[in-house]
Amino acid sequence: MLRIENLTKMFGGLAAVKDISVEFEANQVNAIIGPNGAGKSTFFNLVAGSHKPSFGHIILDGEDITTLRCDYIARRGVGRTFQTTNLFEQASVLDNLIVGHRLRTRSGLWDVLVNSRRLQQEEKLSRDKAREALEFVGLSHVENRFIADITQEERKRVAFALALTTDPKILLLDEPAAGINPEETQGLAELIGRMKDHGLTVCLIEHKMDMVMGIADKIMVLDHGEKIAEGTPEQVREDPAVIEAYLGSDDDAAA
């Protein structure tokens, strides 16, 4: 589904992501973990196209998307959420979501001027998509509330819904469970599971290990920009390199 080959990103002389090769299978939940500054967010930015890699290739469904601009990558089916999602606070949840399907529509200025049938159909389609996504994340009952008036957890779900309205094949979630309580985290994990059931491929960055171990089919561990381990949750948990990265080696402890 998504194949990464020798991906490297240099910022000046510093390699934020160093020679990563990995393959994410379709219809699975893939987690990327690692200590702070390990290059996880940079990795996402490279896949989504907001940063251009220094070396390497990103191949989505057999197509090389390495050099594409991020709006084209989004159209190829890569959706993403951010650690913080800036939405229009003084507009309703639904109003914020309607634009999500814009990338699958073609209406331009002329359609606005003559109020063309195409524009009307596409607006209806976008509205339906927004409602559908809202229902999927379980927030239909707040569709008319202002973004400013909903809870932190509901905002996370709205951010999911916004990414879903773009009709993605693969979804990149950057720390979805940051800043919410354990119970809500459980709810989000269930939601991610439902996405998988609906045929989506999910990649997530997350620090909450309970959640990651519970839902991930595959985990990639990054440290200092390098991939130090890869495998099922059980394999990764036992991996000495992972334990060292998280807890420090015996040498460090002695020093």
What's the closest the beta carbon of residue 143 comes to other proteins, in angstroms? 7
Instruction: Check if the beta carbon of residue 139 is closer than 8 Å to that of residue 154.
Output: yes
Distance CA 224, CA 34 (A): 9
Q: Which is nearer to other proteins, 50 or 249 (CB)?
A: 50
Distance CA 66, CA 18 (A): 16
178 binds other proteins, rule: CB under 8 A: no
20: left (phi over 0), alpha (psi -120 to 50) or beta: beta
Distance CA 67, CA 201 (A): 22
Q: Six-digit token pair at 235?
A: 């394999």
What's the closest the beta carbon of residue 175 comes to other proteins, in angstroms? 15
82 binds other proteins, rule: CB under 8 A: yes
What's the closest the beta carbon of residue 104 comes to other proteins, in angstroms? 8
What's the closest the beta carbon of residue 117 comes to other proteins, in angstroms? 13
What's the closest the beta carbon of residue 219 comes to other proteins, in angstroms? 24
What number of other Cβ atoms are within 10 A of residue 82's Cβ?
Answer: 14
In the range 112-131, which residues lie near other proteins by CB under 8 A? 112-113, 115, 119, 122-123, 126
Q: Tell me how many residues contact other proteins (CB under 8 A).
A: 46
Our CA dihedral for 126, 130, 133, 139, rounded to 10 degrees, sits at -170
Distance CA 89, CA 190 (A): 27
Q: Which residues of 101-125 are buried (b: 16+ CB within 10 A; e: fewer)?
A: beeebebeeebeeeeeeebeebeee
Q: Is the dihedral of CA 17, 20, 22, 26 positive or negative?
A: positive
55 binds other proteins, rule: CB under 8 A: no
What's the closest the beta carbon of residue 90 comes to other proteins, in angstroms? 5
What's the closest the beta carbon of residue 241 comes to other proteins, in angstroms? 32
105 binds other proteins, rule: CB under 8 A: yes
Q: Which is nearer to other proteins, 27 or 85 (CB)?
A: 85
The contact pattern for other proteins, residues 142-171, with x = CB under 8 A and - = no contact, is xxxxx--x------------xx--x-----
Strands 78-81 and 63-64: what pairing?
unpaired
- Please tell me the chain's helix, strand, coil percentages from 3-state DSSP, rounded to the nearest 5: 45, 25, 30
Binding part of the chain for other proteins, among 5-13, 23-31, 95-103, 220-228 by CB under 8 A, reads 95-103
65 binds other proteins, rule: CB under 8 A: no
Q: Which residues pair with 209 in a beta bridge?
A: none
70 binds other proteins, rule: CB under 8 A: yes
Contacts with other proteins by CB under 8 A lie at: 48, 50, 70-72, 74-75, 79-80, 82, 85-88, 90-92, 94-95, 98-100, 102-103, 105, 107-109, 111-113, 115, 119, 122-123, 126, 141-146, 149, 162-163, 166
